């Protein structure tokens, strides 16, 4: 475990203490040997400056502003990093926790906030347009309703999903 401790030491130096505490990294980081197996991440192939090893250990965790780091939201939750980690670590799970904190502090990309707003207020990730209605009618499919949207909004409210969203009154009805 000497190497592991070394990584722990190096990483802690680079990682703001508040972040280490907030995400329980003391239990997590010592085991990351930076073996680079998680380079299997498909996003590394096409997104500049993104690799789970770099993003995970340095870029996101040790960033001055981990919650505002744009690389955080590039994780597509494919779970490949988790599949191949020899220690069963899951960068993905950690990213999810940091994503949640990033969202709570209003640091997520605007498209993320829009998606969440759409889901909690309409029940769907995409808006139903007259084009949708026409296509469905032509195919003999029943029209889409928003009958479930009220329940979705209620559950979103009691579980905290709407905390950081401004909901206009007319959308509540």
Which of 8, 120 has the CB closer to another protein?
Answer: 120
Candidate residues 79, 87, 171, 172; the one interacting with another protein per rule CB under 8 A: 79
CA distance 135 to 145: 15
Name the residue with tokens 């744009």. 70
User: In Å, what is the CA distance from 78 to each residue of 40, 75, 104, 112, 140?
Assistant: 11, 8, 23, 17, 36
Candidate residues 100, 105, 171, 172; the one interacting with another protein per rule CB under 8 A: 100
147 binds another protein (CB under 8 A): yes
- CB of residue 5 vs another protein: minimum separation in angstroms? 30
Binding mask 33-72 vs another protein (x if CB under 8 A, - otherwise)?
---------xx-xxxx-x-------------------x--
Percent of the chain that is helix, strand, coil (3-state, to 5):
60, 0, 40
Closest CA to 58 of 19, 21, 97, 93: 19
Candidate residues 9, 14, 96, 172; the one interacting with another protein per rule CB under 8 A: 96
* H or E stretch covering 132: helix 130-138
Binding mask 149-168 vs another protein (x if CB under 8 A, - otherwise)?
x-xx-xxx-xxxx-------
CB 121 within 8 A of CB 167: yes
What is the CA 23 to chain-centroid distance, rounded?
14
- CB of residue 61 vs another protein: minimum separation in angstroms? 16
Residues in touch with another protein (CB under 8 A)? 42-43, 45-48, 50, 70, 73-80, 82-84, 95-96, 99-100, 102-103, 108-112, 115-116, 119-120, 123-129, 132, 135-136, 139-142, 144-145, 147-149, 151-152, 154-156, 158-161
């Amino acid at each position: 475990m000497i190497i592991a401790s070394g990584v722990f030491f190096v990483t802690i130096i680079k990682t703001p203490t508040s972040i280490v505490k907030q995400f329980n990294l003391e239990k997590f980081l010592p085991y990351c040997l930076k073996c680079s197996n998680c380079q299997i991440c498909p996003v590394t192939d096409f997104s500049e400056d993104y690799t789970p090893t770099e993003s995970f250990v340095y870029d996101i965790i040790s960033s001055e502003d981990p919650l505002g780091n744009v690389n955080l939201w590039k994780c597509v939750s494919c779970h490949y990093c988790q599949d191949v980690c020899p220690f069963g670590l899951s960068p993905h799970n950690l990213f999810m926790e940091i994503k949640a904190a990033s969202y709570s502090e209003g640091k997520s990309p605007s498209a993320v906030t829009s998606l969440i707003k759409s889901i909690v207020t309409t029940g769907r990730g995409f808006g139903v347009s007259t084009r949708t209605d026409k296509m469905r009618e032509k195919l003999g499919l029943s029209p889409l309703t928003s009958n479930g949207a009220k329940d979705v909004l209620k559950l979103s409210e009691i579980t905290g999903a709407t905390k950081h969203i401004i909901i206009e009154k007319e959308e509540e009805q």
